[in-house]
A and B are shown apart, each in its own frame.
Chain A
Amino acid sequence: MADPIEECLLDGIDASTAGPRTVSRRRFMVYSLSTAGLVVAAPLGCDTSTAQGSEPARAPADTVVTGTDDEMLVLEVTRENKVVVRLPRVEVGQGITTAVAMMIAEELDARLADVDIPLADARTKGNQNTGGSDSVRSLYDPARRLAATARARLVTAAARRWRVPAWSLRTEDTKVIAPDGRTATFGSLSAAAARVRRTSVSDRPKPASRHKLIGRPTNRVDGRDIVTGRATYAGDLHVAGAKPTVVARPATFGGKVVTVDDRAARALPGVHAVVRVPGGIAVVAETFHHAFQGRDALKIKWAPGPLGSLSDAGIRARLKAAVPKLGAPPRGSKQVEGEFEFAFVSHAPMEVLTAIADVRAHRAEMWFSAQGPMAARDDIASAVGLPASAVTVHVMRGGGSFGRRLTHEAAVEAALISKAAGRPVKLMWSRNDDTRHGRMRPATHHRLRASHKDGRVVAFAHAMASVDESYGSKGGARQALFVRPAARPAPSDSGLYNFGRLSGDSGGVELAMPVGAWRSVDSGTMRTAEEILVDEIAGSLGVDPVAFRRTTLRSKAVRAVLDKVAEAGSWNAPLPAGHGQGVAVHEEYGSCVACLAEIDATDPKKPRVVKVVMAADVGTAVNPRGLQAQLMGTAVDGISTVLSAGLHIDRGAVREGSFADFHWARQRNAPLHFEAHIMPSTAEPGGAGELGVPAASGAVANAYARATGTRPRRFPLNF
């Protein structure tokens, strides 16, 4: 009864969707697992060989996910007429659950409200990483094919039930509709559809010309939960017996406990346990109030961490010294040069790291938000001495991430505390913990030089150095969780421009500091520095920055987004005194973007970006409204990191402690006017989540430079 049905859809791949960005022209298997209701699965991720070669597991009738399902995207149509797809990615605000719901609803002709996208628990195989602006790109084909297959089966089942030709039926609003007006919900057809072996209608995704939902600006599927306070993050979960827990941490990075007197803490009412972990001393208590009080009652003598007396000045000097030398410029050329410095920046997601851990003798169960839950489970298992198969990780939505949840040190710590305390715990890092113990975008130093001759750039060199973390892989700090797309600029990009001979190199300073990938990773600093220098080259050649870019950009698509912002943002329109406009572009993840910023720098110490206009070409934009939101976020990233938000290091410790002194933009720093234009395209989707950061940062810096007549070199500018 439950024989899985395999179908080879190799020849069924629509040529229009098999463009250069398609993962591969592989055997595309879709099978049905269950006779209780329709469940179809499609292979996912890059490990196609496994999916290709293996027989799907024979599943009991009521089982949805077994065996090879771990590397599948699985769709289930429930009797209640809900379409459920467990997503092997995490929602941290980027809107991936909405985008995937749209893909599924599109191909099924389901109502968006009938599609449910819960986050999958950590799996054992396949790709469950969220990063590299890769989620839409990696899911666009599998999700649509999965849903198209499900639709074909549902339509075929309805045709048999009604004894009418399948081609005469249509689908709409999660129903199959017959020409005579009869309707059947998908839920009512689910069991019959599960028995369909050969579909009587096409099971290929629609051509883009028939898309009704993909490409239509759509509000978030979780919007109502958020505005009513129902959206549930790890800290909001009520897991039986899991007690609030905080950790007393050293002031310095890597500081160690020398002695601890915990008698006063243990004597406090509401304190349940005090345990030592590598990061400090954990207090488990009845409420977070009691936990904080217990923490503050600990008498701890700390030894400073390995950075000793190292402070910003020392780090900056070491970075500068670590930048590889630039080669000799072409003979007879004139040079435009600049050195740029970027401070450390906290990821600072609004939801601090939080993890619930219930570690028992032979199993562990965990709840937290993670961009790489599979690596997290492995690290948790090894930390507490259990096989990975005994560790269940429930992936929670995250209150922001920006790369912070690529590593999972808080989850490992929670598991260790639960094991040591012999009870479930709900661990929360305080805001101070998060700001002072990382992670951070590494500080960098850049040396750039453009060589021009006869009015043309003939060589462009970019050498840089960044702080690298020198210790341990605890918590997955050093694990590459995703492969960067090939389109990523190498150190010494400029591939964007016809700049003649390109060269670049990078160096590093190894320090015992918790650094990590921060939205747009290296591009956030490298490409920002380059876009500033591009303006200075234009100035040196006496050419307008937009005109200069237009004549030197290699790609038509990048020129088009630049033209869009120049036009929509009224480039070079007369401005009030003290105001200035700046532009910048960026290309990555198979997408490109331009940003125009207008700044009021009447008081250069209190500049206000008053207007931001962005334009992006990301191929097919699944949800233009979600994409605009991502661009809006990157505009604020640019404003914050260029103007005001950074971390100082004083004698081995972070000076800042919260949003009181880590000056992330507030409403009064955000543009009064923001607009984002999405370029029409039928190409495969590119990546978008991180795309805007370098363009926004570059545009803000260039606007500041033009408004003040200065050359911005060290960021954030007001620090």
Chain B
Amino acid sequence: MPSYSFVLNGEKVTVQAPADMPLLWVLRDLLHVTGPKYGCGVGVCRACTSHLDGEEIQPCVVKVKDCADRKVTTIEGLADGDTLHPVQQAWLDCDVSQCGFCQPGQIMAAVALLKKTRHPTDADIDGIENVCRCGTYARIREAINKAATKITP
């Protein structure tokens, strides 16, 4: 079986996996990194949203071979030790979460948005496709706007 190395949350990891194995199952089943969640397996619900070289991806539709020698960041790699990322902190301050299952993906999507667009408009935030079945959207919007004021370039 082929072997692939990539940087996961700042640490180099190597896995033996079929080339077409989705990153989601590499993370969850081989590396036991379970922050990215399965919600559909077809890149639609976006509960698994993470970053590849700083860009938003849905690991359920990204093959492990396409991650070789690149940087993968999951929700587990977002905080700096005990210091939360400003988006995580805004999520806490706004008490966004309900069941919590989609929130790692929502946070990673928000971080990616804020990276590109420091002061997102309502329309920019409307562009986030991640499903929240609990319906926390209003607090997600509030948290993104709050985080936008905290993030320094």
Report which A residues bind B (CB closer than 8 A).
92-95, 219-220, 222-233, 235-236, 238, 244, 269, 286-289, 292, 348-352, 397-402, 428, 430-431, 625, 629, 632-637, 658-660, 664-668, 670-674
Contacts and interface: CB of A to CB of B under 8 A. Distances in A.
Interface string B71-100: 000111011000010001001110101111
Interface residues of B, number: 60
Contact of A228 (B30, B44, B79): B79
A287 B129 contact: no
Interface string B107-138: 10000000000000010011111111111111
A664 B28 CA distance: 26
A228 B78 CA distance: 8
B54 interface: no
Contacts of B78: 228
A87 to B, nearest CB: 16
Given A219-B93, A633-B98, 7 more contacts: A226-B103, A352-B38, A352-B39, A397-B99, A665-B135, A667-B130, A671-B138
B102 interface: yes
Mostly, the B contact residues are loop
B151 interface: no
Given A351-B99, A352-B38, A430-B41, A224 B92 contact: yes
Contacts of A673: 138
Contact of A350 (B35, B101, B125, B126): B101
A227 B75 CA distance: 8
A320 to B, nearest CB: 31
A531 B34 CA distance: 44
Contact of A629 (B34, B44, B74, B95): B95
Contacts of B88: 227-228
B48 to A, nearest CB: 11
A664 B135 CA distance: 9
A666 B135 contact: no
A230 B21 CA distance: 24
Nearest to A223: B92
B47 interface: yes
A636 B135 contact: yes
B125 A667 contact: yes
A94 B38 contact: no
B63 to A, nearest CB: 10
Nearest to A660: B44
Interface centre among B74, B97, B127 (most CB of A within 10 A): B97
Given A349-B99, A664-B133, A670-B135, A229 B74 contact: yes
A431 B40 contact: yes
B32 A238 contact: yes
11 contacts: A219-B93, A223-B91, A223-B92, A233-B101, A350-B39, A350-B45, A350-B99, A350-B134, A399-B102, A659-B131, A673-B138
A289 B18 contact: yes
B29 A635 contact: no
B91 A227 contact: yes
B25 interface: yes
Contact of B95 (A223, A397, A402): A223
